[in-house]
Structure 1
Amino acid sequence: MHGFMTPVSLALVALCSALLASAKTMTIVVGGNGTNKDASLIFQPQEVKAAVGDFVVFNFTNGTHSAIESTFAEPCIPAHDSNTTLNGFYSGLRDTVNGSAQTTLVVEIKEEDQNKTFWFYDIWGCGKGGVGAINANDSDWENFDAFVRNAKRLNGSSGGTSSSRTSTGRPTNSQPVPTSTGTGNSAERVGANTVKAISIFTPFLLAMFVA
Protein backbone atom coordinates (compact mmCIF):
# COMPACT_ATOMS: atom_id res chain seq x y z
CA MET A 1 0.00 0.00 0.00
CA HIS A 2 1.10 3.53 -0.72
CA GLY A 3 2.73 5.24 2.25
CA PHE A 4 4.15 2.02 3.75
CA MET A 5 7.65 0.70 3.33
CA THR A 6 8.20 -2.88 2.23
CA PRO A 7 10.51 -5.19 4.19
CA VAL A 8 13.15 -4.75 1.49
CA SER A 9 12.89 -0.96 1.75
CA LEU A 10 13.22 -1.11 5.51
CA ALA A 11 16.25 -3.36 5.20
CA LEU A 12 17.96 -0.95 2.80
CA VAL A 13 17.30 2.02 5.06
CA ALA A 14 18.62 0.05 8.04
CA LEU A 15 21.76 -0.81 6.06
CA CYS A 16 22.35 2.85 5.18
CA SER A 17 21.89 3.83 8.82
CA ALA A 18 24.33 1.15 9.93
CA LEU A 19 26.94 2.28 7.43
CA LEU A 20 26.59 5.88 8.58
CA ALA A 21 26.87 4.89 12.23
CA SER A 22 29.99 2.80 11.60
CA ALA A 23 31.92 5.54 9.76
CA LYS A 24 34.62 7.18 11.86
CA THR A 25 36.56 10.42 11.69
CA MET A 26 40.12 10.38 12.98
CA THR A 27 42.43 13.38 13.32
CA ILE A 28 46.15 13.68 12.66
CA VAL A 29 47.50 16.85 14.26
CA VAL A 30 50.13 18.53 12.06
CA GLY A 31 52.75 20.67 13.80
CA GLY A 32 51.18 20.34 17.21
CA ASN A 33 54.62 19.84 18.77
CA GLY A 34 55.49 23.44 17.85
CA THR A 35 59.05 22.59 16.83
CA ASN A 36 60.95 20.75 14.12
CA LYS A 37 63.66 19.48 16.48
CA ASP A 38 61.98 16.07 16.48
CA ALA A 39 60.47 15.49 13.04
CA SER A 40 58.67 12.36 14.23
CA LEU A 41 56.34 14.68 16.17
CA ILE A 42 55.19 16.68 13.14
CA PHE A 43 52.36 14.19 12.59
CA GLN A 44 50.56 13.03 15.72
CA PRO A 45 49.88 10.17 15.42
CA GLN A 46 52.12 9.11 12.56
CA GLU A 47 50.06 5.99 11.84
CA VAL A 48 46.30 5.44 11.72
CA LYS A 49 44.07 2.57 10.64
CA ALA A 50 40.94 3.57 8.75
CA ALA A 51 38.13 1.53 7.20
CA VAL A 52 36.17 2.20 4.03
CA GLY A 53 33.87 5.16 4.63
CA ASP A 54 36.09 6.68 7.32
CA PHE A 55 37.60 10.16 7.13
CA VAL A 56 41.17 11.06 8.08
CA VAL A 57 41.54 14.74 8.97
CA PHE A 58 44.92 16.47 8.90
CA ASN A 59 44.56 19.35 11.35
CA PHE A 60 47.25 21.99 10.80
CA THR A 61 47.80 23.67 14.16
CA ASN A 62 51.26 25.23 14.28
CA GLY A 63 54.30 26.11 12.16
CA THR A 64 54.60 25.74 8.39
CA HIS A 65 53.97 22.16 7.35
CA SER A 66 52.41 20.00 4.67
CA ALA A 67 50.70 16.64 4.26
CA ILE A 68 51.56 15.23 0.84
CA GLU A 69 50.87 11.72 -0.39
CA SER A 70 53.93 9.89 -1.73
CA THR A 71 54.96 6.34 -2.56
CA PHE A 72 56.89 3.86 -0.46
CA ALA A 73 59.82 3.88 -2.90
CA GLU A 74 60.12 7.68 -2.99
CA PRO A 75 58.96 8.92 0.43
CA CYS A 76 59.71 12.63 -0.02
CA ILE A 77 58.31 13.19 -3.52
CA PRO A 78 54.63 13.80 -4.40
CA ALA A 79 52.98 10.58 -5.55
CA HIS A 80 52.05 11.99 -8.94
CA ASP A 81 55.63 13.10 -9.61
CA SER A 82 56.99 9.59 -9.09
CA ASN A 83 54.01 7.80 -10.64
CA THR A 84 51.85 9.77 -13.06
CA THR A 85 48.96 7.33 -12.66
CA LEU A 86 48.50 8.46 -9.06
CA ASN A 87 46.63 11.58 -7.97
CA GLY A 88 47.63 11.70 -4.34
CA PHE A 89 46.36 14.20 -1.79
CA TYR A 90 48.44 17.37 -1.61
CA SER A 91 48.05 20.12 0.98
CA GLY A 92 50.82 22.41 -0.18
CA LEU A 93 52.59 24.34 2.58
CA ARG A 94 50.17 25.52 5.26
CA ASP A 95 51.51 28.48 7.23
CA THR A 96 49.97 28.27 10.69
CA VAL A 97 51.81 30.65 13.00
CA ASN A 98 51.05 30.55 16.73
CA GLY A 99 47.85 28.62 16.16
CA SER A 100 46.26 31.16 13.80
CA ALA A 101 44.83 30.45 10.35
CA GLN A 102 44.25 26.80 11.18
CA THR A 103 43.10 24.62 8.31
CA THR A 104 42.31 20.99 7.65
CA LEU A 105 42.82 18.52 4.83
CA VAL A 106 40.26 15.71 4.70
CA VAL A 107 40.97 12.34 3.10
CA GLU A 108 38.06 9.94 2.60
CA ILE A 109 38.78 6.21 2.50
CA LYS A 110 36.81 4.97 -0.50
CA GLU A 111 35.89 1.47 -1.66
CA GLU A 112 38.82 1.35 -4.09
CA ASP A 113 41.20 2.20 -1.22
CA GLN A 114 40.31 -0.91 0.78
CA ASN A 115 43.72 -2.57 0.36
CA LYS A 116 45.77 0.59 -0.13
CA THR A 117 48.38 2.20 2.10
CA PHE A 118 48.53 5.98 1.99
CA TRP A 119 52.13 7.10 2.56
CA PHE A 120 52.60 10.82 3.27
CA TYR A 121 55.23 13.34 4.33
CA ASP A 122 55.99 16.89 5.41
CA ILE A 123 58.19 18.92 3.04
CA TRP A 124 60.53 20.29 5.69
CA GLY A 125 60.72 17.24 7.94
CA CYS A 126 60.65 14.28 5.55
CA GLY A 127 64.40 13.54 5.53
CA LYS A 128 64.39 13.52 9.33
CA GLY A 129 61.47 11.13 9.64
CA GLY A 130 58.59 13.59 9.33
CA VAL A 131 56.39 11.05 7.57
CA GLY A 132 53.24 9.05 8.22
CA ALA A 133 50.96 6.33 6.92
CA ILE A 134 47.31 5.39 6.71
CA ASN A 135 46.69 1.62 6.77
CA ALA A 136 50.30 0.45 6.62
CA ASN A 137 50.61 -3.34 6.76
CA ASP A 138 52.83 -4.01 9.78
CA SER A 139 53.51 -7.59 8.67
CA ASP A 140 54.64 -6.61 5.16
CA TRP A 141 58.20 -5.65 4.29
CA GLU A 142 56.81 -2.32 3.12
CA ASN A 143 55.82 -1.34 6.65
CA PHE A 144 55.88 1.99 8.43
CA ASP A 145 59.30 1.58 10.06
CA ALA A 146 60.79 0.73 6.67
CA PHE A 147 59.14 3.83 5.20
CA VAL A 148 60.79 6.01 7.85
CA ARG A 149 64.16 4.42 7.10
CA ASN A 150 63.61 5.03 3.38
CA ALA A 151 62.89 8.72 3.98
CA LYS A 152 66.06 9.19 6.02
CA ARG A 153 68.27 7.05 3.78
CA LEU A 154 67.19 8.67 0.51
CA ASN A 155 66.96 12.24 1.75
CA GLY A 156 69.59 12.51 4.47
CA SER A 157 69.28 14.57 7.62
CA SER A 158 68.65 17.88 5.86
CA GLY A 159 64.94 17.45 6.36
CA GLY A 160 63.72 18.46 2.91
CA THR A 161 63.34 16.51 -0.29
CA SER A 162 66.31 15.39 -2.36
CA SER A 163 64.56 15.99 -5.66
CA SER A 164 63.97 19.22 -7.57
CA ARG A 165 60.61 17.89 -8.73
CA THR A 166 57.66 19.78 -7.31
CA SER A 167 53.92 19.41 -7.48
CA THR A 168 52.00 21.53 -9.94
CA GLY A 169 48.86 21.88 -7.85
CA ARG A 170 47.13 18.94 -9.53
CA PRO A 171 43.61 17.82 -8.61
CA THR A 172 43.51 15.42 -5.69
CA ASN A 173 41.21 12.67 -4.48
CA SER A 174 40.91 14.41 -1.14
CA GLN A 175 38.83 17.33 0.05
CA PRO A 176 40.84 20.31 1.35
CA VAL A 177 38.55 22.10 3.77
CA PRO A 178 39.58 25.55 5.08
CA THR A 179 38.33 26.14 8.61
CA SER A 180 37.94 29.14 10.83
CA THR A 181 40.26 30.00 13.70
CA GLY A 182 37.55 29.24 16.22
CA THR A 183 37.74 26.60 18.90
CA GLY A 184 35.58 24.02 17.15
CA ASN A 185 37.21 20.63 16.57
CA SER A 186 37.87 19.90 12.89
CA ALA A 187 36.85 16.27 13.28
CA GLU A 188 33.50 17.36 14.67
CA ARG A 189 33.01 19.73 11.74
CA VAL A 190 33.69 16.98 9.23
CA GLY A 191 31.29 14.66 11.02
CA ALA A 192 28.61 17.33 11.04
CA ASN A 193 29.05 17.96 7.33
CA THR A 194 28.78 14.23 6.62
CA VAL A 195 25.59 13.89 8.67
CA LYS A 196 24.15 16.97 6.96
CA ALA A 197 24.84 15.50 3.52
CA ILE A 198 23.22 12.19 4.49
CA SER A 199 20.20 13.96 5.99
CA ILE A 200 19.65 15.82 2.72
CA PHE A 201 19.87 12.58 0.76
CA THR A 202 17.71 10.44 3.07
CA PRO A 203 14.24 11.76 1.97
CA PHE A 204 15.06 10.88 -1.63
CA LEU A 205 16.18 7.42 -0.56
CA LEU A 206 12.99 6.87 1.39
CA ALA A 207 10.81 8.09 -1.48
CA MET A 208 12.41 5.58 -3.83
CA PHE A 209 11.42 2.65 -1.68
CA VAL A 210 7.98 3.63 -0.41
CA ALA A 211 5.53 1.15 -1.85
Structure 2
Amino acid sequence: MKVGIFGGSFNPIHNGHVALAKSLLGVAGLDEIWFMVSPQNPLKNAPELLDEDIRLEMVRAALSDEPRLVASDYEFALPRPSYTWNTLTSLSRAFPHIVFSLLIGGDNWQCFHKWYRSRDIIANYPIVVYPRCADGPFAGTVPVRHENPGHVTFADTPLLDISSTEVRKRIAGGKSIAGMVPPEVEAIITDRCLYARAF
Protein backbone atom coordinates (compact mmCIF):
# COMPACT_ATOMS: atom_id res chain seq x y z
CA MET A 1 0.00 0.00 0.00
CA LYS A 2 1.30 3.45 -0.94
CA VAL A 3 0.31 6.44 1.19
CA GLY A 4 1.21 10.08 0.69
CA ILE A 5 1.72 12.24 3.76
CA PHE A 6 0.28 15.70 3.18
CA GLY A 7 1.31 17.70 6.21
CA GLY A 8 0.12 21.13 7.14
CA SER A 9 -1.51 23.40 9.64
CA PHE A 10 -4.75 23.42 7.59
CA ASN A 11 -5.68 26.69 9.26
CA PRO A 12 -8.22 26.25 7.72
CA ILE A 13 -8.36 23.51 5.10
CA HIS A 14 -9.63 24.88 1.78
CA ASN A 15 -10.80 23.62 -1.61
CA GLY A 16 -7.31 23.91 -3.06
CA HIS A 17 -5.98 21.37 -0.56
CA VAL A 18 -8.67 18.87 -1.47
CA ALA A 19 -8.35 19.36 -5.24
CA LEU A 20 -4.57 19.03 -5.06
CA ALA A 21 -4.73 15.81 -3.05
CA LYS A 22 -7.22 14.25 -5.46
CA SER A 23 -4.89 15.11 -8.34
CA LEU A 24 -1.83 13.74 -6.53
CA LEU A 25 -3.51 10.37 -5.96
CA GLY A 26 -3.26 9.68 -9.68
CA VAL A 27 -0.12 11.60 -10.52
CA ALA A 28 1.92 9.98 -7.74
CA GLY A 29 0.28 6.55 -7.94
CA LEU A 30 -0.95 6.59 -4.35
CA ASP A 31 -3.65 4.47 -2.72
CA GLU A 32 -4.42 7.06 -0.06
CA ILE A 33 -3.32 10.48 1.12
CA TRP A 34 -3.23 11.22 4.82
CA PHE A 35 -3.79 14.86 5.76
CA MET A 36 -1.34 15.13 8.66
CA VAL A 37 -2.66 17.96 10.80
CA SER A 38 0.35 19.57 12.45
CA PRO A 39 -0.10 20.73 16.03
CA GLN A 40 3.04 22.85 15.83
CA ASN A 41 5.12 23.64 12.74
CA PRO A 42 8.74 24.28 13.81
CA LEU A 43 9.24 26.75 10.94
CA LYS A 44 6.13 28.83 11.62
CA ASN A 45 5.18 31.26 14.36
CA ALA A 46 1.48 31.68 13.83
CA PRO A 47 -0.41 33.44 16.63
CA GLU A 48 -3.64 32.94 14.69
CA LEU A 49 -3.24 29.15 14.68
CA LEU A 50 -6.41 27.52 15.94
CA ASP A 51 -6.42 24.65 18.42
CA GLU A 52 -5.41 21.44 16.68
CA ASP A 53 -8.65 19.66 17.57
CA ILE A 54 -10.72 22.30 15.79
CA ARG A 55 -8.46 22.18 12.72
CA LEU A 56 -8.68 18.38 12.71
CA GLU A 57 -12.47 18.58 12.93
CA MET A 58 -12.55 20.84 9.88
CA VAL A 59 -10.27 18.48 7.92
CA ARG A 60 -12.47 15.52 8.81
CA ALA A 61 -15.55 17.43 7.69
CA ALA A 62 -13.90 18.45 4.42
CA LEU A 63 -12.89 14.85 3.61
CA SER A 64 -16.05 13.10 4.77
CA ASP A 65 -17.01 12.14 1.20
CA GLU A 66 -13.45 11.31 0.04
CA PRO A 67 -12.65 7.71 1.10
CA ARG A 68 -9.05 7.85 -0.18
CA LEU A 69 -8.29 11.11 1.63
CA VAL A 70 -7.84 10.60 5.37
CA ALA A 71 -7.68 13.13 8.20
CA SER A 72 -4.93 12.16 10.62
CA ASP A 73 -4.14 13.28 14.17
CA TYR A 74 -1.05 11.05 14.34
CA GLU A 75 1.30 13.92 15.19
CA PHE A 76 -0.81 14.96 18.17
CA ALA A 77 0.76 12.16 20.25
CA LEU A 78 4.34 12.82 19.10
CA PRO A 79 6.88 15.16 20.74
CA ARG A 80 6.61 18.80 19.73
CA PRO A 81 7.52 20.64 17.62
CA SER A 82 6.42 18.34 14.79
CA TYR A 83 9.51 17.31 12.86
CA THR A 84 8.69 15.45 9.65
CA TRP A 85 11.56 12.98 10.08
CA ASN A 86 10.16 11.90 13.46
CA THR A 87 6.68 11.55 12.01
CA LEU A 88 7.79 9.47 9.03
CA THR A 89 9.96 7.09 11.04
CA SER A 90 7.24 6.63 13.64
CA LEU A 91 4.70 5.90 10.90
CA SER A 92 7.03 3.36 9.28
CA ARG A 93 7.39 1.51 12.59
CA ALA A 94 3.64 1.57 13.26
CA PHE A 95 2.62 0.58 9.71
CA PRO A 96 5.45 -1.55 8.25
CA HIS A 97 3.23 -2.74 5.38
CA ILE A 98 2.82 0.82 4.03
CA VAL A 99 5.25 2.72 1.79
CA PHE A 100 5.04 6.37 2.81
CA SER A 101 5.81 9.27 0.49
CA LEU A 102 6.22 12.89 1.52
CA LEU A 103 4.14 15.44 -0.40
CA ILE A 104 5.46 19.01 -0.25
CA GLY A 105 5.01 22.26 -2.12
CA GLY A 106 7.68 23.80 -4.30
CA ASP A 107 8.12 26.61 -1.79
CA ASN A 108 8.93 24.12 0.96
CA TRP A 109 11.32 22.24 -1.34
CA GLN A 110 13.29 25.45 -1.84
CA CYS A 111 14.00 25.60 1.90
CA PHE A 112 14.08 21.83 2.48
CA HIS A 113 17.72 21.99 3.56
CA LYS A 114 16.51 23.78 6.71
CA TRP A 115 14.30 20.88 7.72
CA TYR A 116 15.37 18.65 10.58
CA ARG A 117 17.34 15.68 9.17
CA SER A 118 16.41 16.61 5.62
CA ARG A 119 19.15 14.42 4.12
CA ASP A 120 17.81 11.40 6.00
CA ILE A 121 14.32 12.08 4.65
CA ILE A 122 15.64 12.26 1.09
CA ALA A 123 17.65 9.07 1.58
CA ASN A 124 14.79 7.02 3.02
CA TYR A 125 11.48 8.27 1.63
CA PRO A 126 10.07 9.12 -1.81
CA ILE A 127 9.26 12.82 -2.11
CA VAL A 128 6.63 14.32 -4.40
CA VAL A 129 6.97 18.07 -5.04
CA TYR A 130 3.95 19.96 -6.33
CA PRO A 131 3.87 23.55 -7.65
CA ARG A 132 2.33 26.05 -5.29
CA CYS A 133 1.18 29.64 -5.46
CA ALA A 134 2.41 31.29 -2.29
CA ASP A 135 3.60 34.63 -1.04
CA GLY A 136 7.31 35.29 -1.24
CA PRO A 137 10.13 34.95 -3.76
CA PHE A 138 9.25 31.40 -4.80
CA ALA A 139 5.58 32.08 -5.58
CA GLY A 140 4.29 29.65 -8.15
CA THR A 141 7.62 27.91 -8.63
CA VAL A 142 9.32 24.60 -8.06
CA PRO A 143 13.11 24.12 -8.23
CA VAL A 144 14.69 23.18 -11.51
CA ARG A 145 14.64 19.46 -12.09
CA HIS A 146 18.40 18.92 -12.42
CA GLU A 147 18.81 19.96 -8.75
CA ASN A 148 16.77 17.08 -7.33
CA PRO A 149 17.85 13.59 -6.25
CA GLY A 150 16.65 10.76 -8.47
CA HIS A 151 13.72 9.62 -6.33
CA VAL A 152 12.18 13.08 -5.94
CA THR A 153 9.19 13.40 -8.28
CA PHE A 154 7.89 16.69 -9.62
CA ALA A 155 4.13 16.42 -9.94
CA ASP A 156 2.37 18.01 -12.88
CA THR A 157 -0.56 19.41 -10.93
CA PRO A 158 -2.40 22.73 -11.15
CA LEU A 159 -1.03 25.60 -9.09
CA LEU A 160 -2.89 26.27 -5.87
CA ASP A 161 -4.60 29.61 -6.42
CA ILE A 162 -5.96 29.87 -2.87
CA SER A 163 -4.32 30.01 0.54
CA SER A 164 -5.41 29.62 4.14
CA THR A 165 -4.00 33.09 4.79
CA GLU A 166 -6.32 34.54 2.17
CA VAL A 167 -9.28 32.73 3.70
CA ARG A 168 -8.48 34.09 7.17
CA LYS A 169 -8.04 37.63 5.85
CA ARG A 170 -11.39 37.52 4.08
CA ILE A 171 -13.13 36.31 7.23
CA ALA A 172 -11.46 38.98 9.36
CA GLY A 173 -12.54 41.58 6.80
CA GLY A 174 -16.14 40.42 6.84
CA LYS A 175 -15.97 39.04 3.28
CA SER A 176 -17.50 35.84 1.95
CA ILE A 177 -15.43 32.66 1.68
CA ALA A 178 -18.09 30.78 -0.29
CA GLY A 179 -16.41 28.52 -2.85
CA MET A 180 -13.03 28.81 -1.14
CA VAL A 181 -13.63 26.13 1.50
CA PRO A 182 -15.91 23.07 1.53
CA PRO A 183 -19.45 23.94 2.71
CA GLU A 184 -18.99 21.77 5.82
CA VAL A 185 -15.93 23.80 6.78
CA GLU A 186 -17.65 27.11 6.09
CA ALA A 187 -20.49 26.02 8.39
CA ILE A 188 -18.05 25.23 11.24
CA ILE A 189 -16.27 28.57 10.80
CA THR A 190 -19.53 30.51 10.70
CA ASP A 191 -21.19 28.72 13.59
CA ARG A 192 -18.19 29.26 15.89
CA CYS A 193 -17.14 32.67 14.61
CA LEU A 194 -13.64 31.38 13.87
CA TYR A 195 -11.00 33.79 12.53
CA ALA A 196 -13.42 36.66 13.12
CA ARG A 197 -10.83 39.10 14.48
CA ALA A 198 -7.94 40.56 12.55
CA PHE A 199 -4.39 39.60 13.61
TM-score by length of 1: 0.28
Higher strand content, 1 or 2: 1
Query: Which structure has more helix as a fraction of its residues?
Result: 2
TM-score, normalization by structure 2: 0.29
Which is greater in Rg? 1
